Structure 1
């Protein structure tokens, strides 16, 4: 039985709710559907599962894009209601007839809905009966086929003997039984008579297959010994030629840039730490990036080869007529060529294939049934809808102002804790130092916590950054529990009054069970304010696998009913990808977490914000 069925506008105004379904929904499945699915361009999915303490629902929906209406049905997840899709389509058809934009109450629609529900349930029962009848007929035929059995002599039990080619009652040599088996001993003899495996003549060569003997003969004819000799002599002559090495020019001028940042050691073995902190200028995080949109060029661009092919296939007159007069309602067949070209374009920009396909499906769902305006092309309509969808996905749904959160935590008398996680070799330690440099420029006291106790040299690497930036570092060496080290670091930061604690963790693959369990323990024990996933901008399809499995492992291994997942993303190596910016879209789409930092170089200042408009323009150009 349905738990709820309601109709609301895209603006959020509820027009009608079924009064017969008096059961109050537990939790907020409708709000979660809107926030996690409809606003995240996942409306192309078939259904959505809502799981909460004491509640487990399945939600199905449909749109009336021309009127801007949403129809949602909610029922228990354990049930498999066959009539829901049919009921939604019928309710959509009947409600669109009585819909009035100036009207907000539709109490008279209850009788219509009651009749539609009875009709949908009757259709489902008929379908169920027909499927059961078909399965019974199939089972009956199988039982009749199994009754026919054979004895060891090849005779059928319970009936006459099977006829063979020789006419007698026994099965002839080489003949097959009804179950596909061959009578014993006849297969080998038959193969030998036709030129079997043991004969000199190869049977496969008669059937047109490749003959190895012919290949060896062709090789022996085509290759000459003189050619090989000449080739070897020529190669030896080339080896004798040596390139003369140029004389080295020594320069006695002093080095302009100091590359060795290790601490000088005195004769007594004490280290000097009284040198100036690294100052490389203003961080790029505080610089506003100027973006200019070329609207004229965007209007003239086509969506892709698929859109061009679709326009040509319909003919010049028909496409021009649709642009001038408009189209009554857009259908999937009209949108398919433009969406195909758009999907190919997104994939060339390093967007994961799964994400590109879901985005195109969501755009098709949002445009299906809409009326195409006059002097408007389908390709332009599809591209505008995709642009809106990309902006909506990449725009953060919550505040990402870390400085404000740092000051809020400082007022509460506790440090702001950030945990950097990610796979191996993505640049967690380097970008942690960049974030520390940016925070220092905003007068925040920072402490580093060396919780990568697994990789050799990780503590020394972080110690070098800390000494350059002249900030304290909390370390306990290697082979220690990183969760305990992080907890002690937070306690030390609270005692000394540090504003921010940046926790460096070991790089781990998403399938490494022991390391993922250690990471989950660190997050559950310390409850950080921000879990930052550090990922490369170079990855494509692997970005989906990394983030989805990180979130899945953190959820499965958590002991809390509300597990902590990835809160934000830091993209590294963004200066090496040219226009292949699709990894940002893939990561945000699969996790729902915003991109908070973008690493674009090797120095401490090479850290900036993500420009959403620039990314969207790059993806669609």
Structure 2
């Protein structure tokens, strides 16, 4: 049974709707109806290629009439819904073409004309009487729905007849809706199943053969040379491989330090966090910290004194536009151009799945649209793709991290007036897979915060990786020596909170936030251990840290080098954090956790300088989460941090 059906304009005006159940009527009439959610969360964000949208237990499907800017939406999954939507669109447009043309033309007037009409009290688009204009449509829709439902029922009965003739009388049973969807088993299917079984058995034999080879020669009926062992099914197997491997392993030698423990001078020679300087005193000095700041990439200060990192810029050339006569675009016209666009996006490092959805959305937005004589199909697709990419990449939440920090500090200080309490520091957790550069980019963010007058505490919560604490210690030492606004150093502005290795990361983070509150720090940056997105125990441990400490921001650190992998990493990190943090909140809520579902709040994309114009990872990550990219890392110094402008990323993606 159909629950709800509506016809709307892309501008948000509902022309006609019909609900068939009280629940659907109540839901559709609310301010946050599934249709409104569809427009807000799917269509506006450029996700029109999604096959289905779910909201409040309802499944929605839609189709467009792009020449008139109409959206035809139905709620509830039915076998005949595609046919219903197609017939609905064709019949509605045919019956009310003159009225719709006049209505759409009125929406295209300039905003100044609309304001003038409102000031003079003349009729506006909100005074259109759609109920009167479409008063005959209800009966037409009822007849259309009855016709299609009757046809679907007849088709279902027809599908039941051949399936009943295949079964023997002993297997016969009363037909049902479930049985009608089960196709009869043909001889070809039987042959396919037998072939699959043979292939599976052959694969098992090959695997047994590989296991026998890797395990060495065996004797007896289960040995590697026995009949049916599967060794003969492994082409080119080398029985000497184990012996060669053992010889190669014996050839490797360990570093020999001597019979005695290394002396202090030996250890000092291996400490590369210092540099030896030629001087009479032969004393060690710190590394020249001026090399850690690239003056060419140093940010700028605003009139208010705020330090801003540079924008990442891309210089692209504009492509020449092809010309073609006036025409209405069809699917056949768009197919080759859209395929080329999909391949282009994939070359730009956009994940394959995201490329397909974006291109499909562009195609659905263009079918039926009339193009002008000055531009051809290529131009129309390029323009629509540019608009779609801009919608996807435009942040839905604020990317001004400094404003968020200062707002919390201001609110915390105002709440302390007349009390002896201390302000709550702003906490940021950095998460991601192994080796993407979480600690390095955390230190770049720390430099940016220090330049803006913040006191920063770095919490070393990677208690697993060897050298993780020492790495942060070197960063803190260097950052403490860098000047702020010409000052000799910034000592006291940056500190490290660490408790060594093998400790509970969630407990260390909690202690660090408490320490930051007691010692008047503005921001606590929490470094975490890298982990793979499929490792459930480690993801649960990360969710425990989030649930216990309720950080203000969770930033996912990912590489610009990955395409499809970025989607998988980000999707699973976000999903695991949401699932496990809500579950962990009940167990660890007494420690400060809210028990609320928490996901990724933003991204930092590292190694941005290695991809040139192949910046598709930014599109993939933003599409998956709907969250903004806060910074991109693009070098080896503390100043190599950039913020993204949507126009620059779109320009780089579209560049040929």
Work out whether the TM-score is over 0.5.
yes
Which residue does the alignment assign to 1:199?
none
TM-score (norm 2): 0.67
CA deviations over 1:516-553 (Å, ceiling 9, x no partner): 00111111221111110100111111111111111121
Q: 1:66 to 1:21 in 2, by over 3 A?
A: farther
1:558 is paired with a residue whose SS is helix
Which residue does the alignment assign to 2:176?
none
In structure 1, list runs of 5 or more residues that go unmatched.
148-178, 181-211, 213-257, 265-270, 303-319
Spell out the pairing of 1:73-92 with structure 2 (5 A cutoff): 73-75=74-76, 80-92=77-89
Shift of 1:564: 1.1
Shift of 1:289: 5.5
Shift of 1:293: 6.3
CA deviations over 1:319-361 (Å, ceiling 9, x no partner): x7xx23x11x211100011111111111111111111111110
Which residue does the alignment assign to 2:533?
510
In structure 2, list runs of 5 or more residues that go unmatched.
107-124, 173-189, 192-231, 233-270, 278-283, 301-307, 413-423, 481-493, 584-594
2:11 matches 1:11? yes
Q: Greater Rg, structure 1 or structure 2?
A: 1
Report if aligned partners of 1:15, 1:106 keep a CA contact under 8 Å in 2. Answer: yes
Which residue does the alignment assign to 2:244?
none
1:364 is paired with a residue whose SS is helix
2:490 matches 1:467? no
Q: 1:444 to 1:28 in 2, by over 3 A?
A: farther
Shift of 1:106: 1.3
Report if aligned partners of 1:424, 1:509 keep a CA contact under 8 Å in 2. Answer: yes
Aligned mate of 1:572, from 606, 609, 613: 606
CA distance in 1, matches of 2:455, 2:404: 14
Q: 1:492 to 1:278 in 2, by over 3 A?
A: farther
CA distance in 2, matches of 1:539, 1:576: 11
CA distance in 2, matches of 1:562, 1:263: 52
- Aligned pair count reads 475
CA distance in 2, matches of 1:278, 1:489: 30
Shift of 1:441: 0.5
Which residue does the alignment assign to 1:154?
none
Shift of 1:505: 0.5
Aligned mate of 2:273, from 249, 253, 260: 260
Spell out the pairing of 1:146-157 with structure 2 (5 A cutoff): none
CA distance in 2, matches of 1:578, 1:453: 35
Q: 1:358 to 1:139 in 2, by over 3 A?
A: same
Shift of 1:615: 2.0
RMSD: 3.0
2:53 matches 1:48? yes
Which residue does the alignment assign to 2:633?
599
Deviates more, 1:586-595 or 1:10-19: 10-19
Report if aligned partners of 1:570, 1:595 keep a CA contact under 8 Å in 2. Answer: yes
Q: 1:291 to 1:543 in 2, by over 3 A?
A: closer
Aligned mate of 2:26, from 20, 24, 27: 24
Which residue does the alignment assign to 1:378?
377
CA deviations over 1:29-57 (Å, ceiling 9, x no partner): 2333223211222112221112xxxx311
CA distance in 2, matches of 1:82, 1:89: 13
2:630 is paired with a residue whose SS is strand
Shift of 1:593: 1.4
Aligned mate of 1:106, from 130, 135, 138: 130
Which residue does the alignment assign to 1:123?
148
Report if aligned partners of 1:425, 1:507 keep a CA contact under 8 Å in 2. Answer: yes
Report if aligned partners of 1:450, 1:473 keep a CA contact under 8 Å in 2. Answer: yes
2:385 matches 1:351? no
CA distance in 2, matches of 1:277, 1:527: 37
Which residue does the alignment assign to 1:197?
none
2:564 matches 1:541? yes
Report if aligned partners of 2:311, 2:645 keep a CA contact under 8 Å in 1. Answer: no
Shift of 1:487: 1.3
CA distance in 2, matches of 1:423, 1:491: 27
CA deviations over 1:360-386 (Å, ceiling 9, x no partner): 100000001111212321111111111
Which residue does the alignment assign to 1:268?
none
2:59 is paired with a residue whose SS is strand
Report if aligned partners of 1:91, 1:113 keep a CA contact under 8 Å in 2. Answer: no
CA distance in 2, matches of 1:119, 1:67: 22
1:299 is paired with a residue whose SS is coil
TM-score (norm 1): 0.71
Which residue does the alignment assign to 1:452?
462
2:605 is paired with a residue whose SS is strand
1:127 is paired with a residue whose SS is helix
Which residue does the alignment assign to 1:437?
447
